[in-house]
A and B are shown apart, each in its own frame.
Chain A
Amino acid sequence: MNYALAVHGAPYAGTAADHALGFAWALLAEGHRIERVFFFHDGVYQGLAGQVAPQEHFDTDLLKRWQQLARQGIELAICIASGIKRGVINETEQSRYELAHPSLAHGFELVGLGQLIAAINAADRYVEFPA
């Protein structure tokens, strides 16, 4: 089956990433496909470059885990509207708004809300991980 996943929580602030990553890897192990992982609301912070995993989460460097998933060809899509207002910007937006630095981590891309809906329309299942 084909799945669309949504992550709404920030890294280390709650369980959204842990649950989503655990679920995503289990999906792939069972032979399912992931149409897209879409990051919305505070979930966009998952795509911020420069995160340093807290010492107490020594086994859970969330950014690294997301990037490992991206290397499997899974699309990590940050909602552009939610992202840019929180400072999660790629080089295009950096240039557009004349900002000092891009901040989007490798493996993620900024997309419009239409990409969430397109993913859900293409998928058999939609699973949401709240903050």
Chain B
Amino acid sequence: MSLHLIFSATGLTSCTRRCSRGDKFLLLGDGIYAHAQALEAGIEPVDLFLLAPDAQARGVGSDLTGTLLRLEYPDFVALTEQCSPIVSWKE
């Protein structure tokens, strides 16, 4: 099970063509803005996470992101314990 770190909308597009069912996806940095695109791409909400401080900085509140889980850094760490490899996507 891989963990994909998504840093931008372009990164999300590149990733979703090459990921596997059951993988986990963490949106961080400007990847936060791609939350709707991520769901449209067919990622299950239960596999999709937002980095909380980045969402907060960008004013992307739960009214927009619904039930998507926000992670603080300790949760981010926990996710990396469960997944390998961890792949960063920005372009």
Contact = CB atoms under 8 A, between A and B. Distances in A.
Interface of A: 1, 3, 14-15, 19, 22-23, 25-27, 29-30, 32, 124-131
B19 to A, nearest CB: 16
Interface string B74-91: 101110110011101010
Contact of B90 (A22, A25, A126, A130): A130
Contacts, number: 46
A1 B76 contact: no
Interface of B: 5, 7, 28-29, 51, 53-54, 72-74, 76-78, 80-81, 84-86, 88, 90
A23 B80 CA distance: 10
Contacts of A128: 5, 86, 88
B22 to A, nearest CB: 18
A27 to B, nearest CB: 6
Given A14-B29, A15-B28, A19-B28, A125 B74 contact: no
Contact of B85 (A27, A30, A126, A131): A126
B7 A26 contact: no
B10 to A, nearest CB: 12
Among B77, B85, B88, which residue has the most Cβ atoms of chain A within 10 A?
B77
Given A15-B28, A22-B53, A126 B86 contact: yes
Given A125-B80, A126-B86, 20 more contacts: A19-B29, A22-B53, A22-B73, A23-B73, A26-B73, A26-B76, A30-B74, A30-B77, A32-B77, A124-B84, A125-B84, A125-B86, A126-B85, A127-B86, A127-B88, A128-B5, A128-B88, A129-B88, A130-B7, A130-B90
A29 B74 contact: yes
B51 to A, nearest CB: 8
Nearest to B78: A30
A124 B85 CA distance: 10
A1 B90 CA distance: 26
